[in-house]
Structure 1
Amino acid sequence: MDEGRQRRTYAVLALICGIVGMAGGGTFAAIGVWVAFVEPAYLDRASRLLIGGWGSAGLIGVLGWLWLSSRYLRAGRTGLRDSGPWPWAALGLGALAAVAVVGMAFWQAAASPTALVLLLAGPPLLLPAVMLVRLRRTQGT
């Protein structure tokens, strides 16, 4: 598949999965950061650190994904390879936060099947993130 077609395929995937994951995951992450650091009266210190760290990791992951997506859509694989380690580390933090959301969703699904809605809060961003990693590692044609 040529580079232009791969970019269009990625753009469609990013629009479908990225907007859903960014809207759900970004909203929950921002709420977590807000509750942990701005309105700390609701939580004890350990909970504030856990929720604040988790929310911060999610927001940092969204920013890393946005940065790498824009680099890929503008410059292709060369843009991904030329981007420094910080956006990739941010993407990794976000992926860890999203995997934690998957675990929490299935853990809570035992009590309430509606908890599976949490799978829309961040984990859809894993698909375009994995595609970015794959595109960076493979040779272009």
Structure 2
Amino acid sequence: MTVLKRTFKVQNEGFVNGVWGTETVIKNQGKQVIHIPECIANGQYLLRPEMIALHGARTAGGAQLYMECAQIEVTGGTGAKTPQTYSIPGIYKVRQLRDSVAQILTWFKANDPGITIDIYNSKGPYVIPGT
């Protein structure tokens, strides 16, 4: 078993030209193309896609985070560049609220731009968390 120690961001999509990243995923029937940078080293990686539902994000704590994981092996990487990484544990912490309910505390705060936002009345650009 590999112990996950560091993580880095590969790709993100927000609100571009009037289209949300989630709309693209829905249009593609749940499929998303991810481009793994050639500059990273070969090896085992944990791919962890995350979607943030913002329909209830008008108030702090209203954003919903959906995460999945897949173990992948990168081959053909050059290892020419080491991306900026973040510690795990460190960016995610879990706090037990009730017997079956846990709150995931992440590297961003509940009131950060992009986490607390009124998507229906926002006039400015969307700030993707962690960018």
Structure in which a larger fraction of residues adopt strand: 2
Q: TM-score, normalised by structure 1?
A: 0.23
The answer to which structure, 1 or 2, has the higher relative contact order (CA under 8 A, 6+ apart) is: 1
The structure carrying a bigger helix percent of its residues is 1
Using the size of structure 2 for normalisation, the TM-score is: 0.24
